A = this chain, B = another copy of it.
Amino acid sequence: MRDRDLTIGIDIGGTKIAGGLVDSSGLLVDCVRRETPGHAIGAVENAIVSVVAELGRRARARSYGDAVAVGIGAAGWVSTDRSTVLFSPHLAWRNTPLRAELAERMSLPVWVDNDANAAAWAEYRFGAARGHETAACVTLGTGIGGGVISAGRLQRGAFGVAGEWGHSRVVPDGRRCVCGNRGCWEQYASGRALARAGRELIDVAPAAAEALLATVDGDGSRLTGADVTAAALAGDPAAIGLVQEVGTWLGEGIVTIAMIIDPSIVVVGGGVGALGDLLLEPARARFLAVLPGRGYRPAAEIVEATLGADAGMIGAAELARSKLG
């Protein structure tokens, strides 16, 4: 394998760091995962450097040759020059020159992108959106992230925050959001929304929520989106009902995205996206019911992401590769 076939992609979320060695066909050759070591900038940077070093050692041990660049997919807003994290809701980055700080500590070129942009790029290059020159990728985790491909290019926008639609408003004076506003999409269609709906059901209708209550030993306040997701996948009718509610709101927001960028495909990824058709069928139904001009315009497909939790790493690695001569 030629040296320059390999780049490293790092996906940094609020709770974990995943690093992968990726070849030019998008194949994840090796992978290292760690807990995010607190929120301090220095500790996170140390962890990134250590993950890159470990991937390098293992690659050399297997005679893969050295990686030639590092791409970072960071849970935050990243400047258009792919150097600075402007803001992160989950980590301490505030106008942090992450690229320069990391490049100084590693003898490799480094590029920084938004994590959901990296995942979108991976799905476009190697996953569910391949062949779609205009695509939207919606990442459903605790909140909602996203990335936009138009004319075959990742669109970062004027300030690096294109596709950050989790806080687009779907309900005026709706539910209070972590961002300070009310009625944001991610309060209705995300892991957090699933957990909220589950806790509400437990509170109001504990008999209907018996299976959900059992997963948290009777303590409804501990219920997470992942708990509801697992119960729905296991067939619990109450959990499936909650997923349908959230899926309907997912479709509602996708209509707005479709009207603005007109994609031929919308790829839904992230942990909640793993619910597949349980989530996507109600989303499609809502989307087709309210898309204006239906009958006179083709409708975008709404599909599940194919790269799963690896999309961020693969996309970050590929975005770093695209900067090589």
A297, B77: Cβ atoms closer than 8 Å: yes
Residues in B whose Cβ lies below 8 Å from that of A297: 77, 86-87, 159, 161
State whether B260 touches A168 (Cβ < 8 A): yes
Which residues of chain A in 60-119 are interfacial with respect to chain B, using CB atoms and an 8 Å cutoff? 77, 86-87, 94-95
Q: Are B87 and A155 in contact (CB under 8 A)?
A: no
Report chain B residues within 8 Å CB of A170.
169, 172
Interface core residue of A150, A153, A157 (most chain B CB under 10 Å): A157
Residue contact A255 to B153, C-beta cutoff 8 Å: no
Contact A259 B167 (CB under 8 A): yes
Q: Give A137-185 interface residues, CB cut-off 8 Å to B.
A: 148, 150-151, 153, 155-165, 167-172, 179-181, 184
A162 B264 Cβ-Cβ under 8 A: no
- Bound form: Cα–Cα A87–B94 in Å: 47
Stretch in A10-18, A32-40, A288-296 with 4+ CB within 8 Å of B = A288-296
A150's contact among B95, B155, B292, by CB below 8 Å, is which?
Answer: B155
Question: Is the Cβ of A155 less than 8 Å from the Cβ of B151?
Answer: yes
A293 interface neighbour in B77, B171, B255, Cβ under 8 Å: B77
Question: Which residue of the partner chain B has the closest CB to A163?
Answer: B260
B262 touches A260 (CB 8 A): no
Contact B132 A168 (CB under 8 A): no
Copies in the complex: 2
Pick the contact of A296: B87, B150, B153, B255 (CB < 8 A).
B87
A127 to chain B, nearest CB (A): 17
Given the complex, which residues of B lie within 8 Å of A262, measured CB to CB?
A: 156-164
A277-312 residues with Cβ-Cβ distance < 8 A to B are 290, 292-293, 296-298, 300
Residues of B with C-beta under 8 A to A148: 260-261
What's the tally of chain A residues with a CB closer than 8 Å to chain B? 51
Q: Which of B155, B181, B252 contacts A290 (CB 8 A)?
A: B181
Residue A257, interface by CB 8 Å: yes
Closest to A173 in B: B171
Are B292 and A158 in touch, CB under 8 angstroms? no
The smallest C-beta distance from A245 to any residue of chain B, in angstroms, reads: 13
On whether the beta carbons of A179 and B293 are closer than 8 Å, the reply is yes
Are A264 and B158 in contact, CB atoms less than 8 angstroms apart? yes
Complex Cα gap A77–B262 (Å): 12
**Is A134 in contact with chain B by the CB < 8 A criterion?**
yes
A115 to chain B, nearest CB (A): 16
Distance (whole angstroms) from the CB of A13 to the closest CB of chain B: 18
Q: Does A45 contact B (CB under 8 A)?
A: no
A164 CB to closest chain B CB (Å) equals 6
- A133 contacts chain B at the CB level, 8 A cutoff: yes
A132 CB contacts on chain B under 8 angstroms: 158
Q: Which residue of B lies closest to A296 (CB)?
A: B87
Contact A157 B261 (CB under 8 A): yes
Q: A19 contacts the other chain (Cβ, under 8 Å)?
A: no
Enumerate the 10 nearest inter-chain pairs by beta-carbon distance, A residue then B residue, closest first: A157-B262, A158-B264, A87-B296, A167-B292, A162-B262, A134-B158, A179-B292, A168-B256, A161-B262, A168-B259
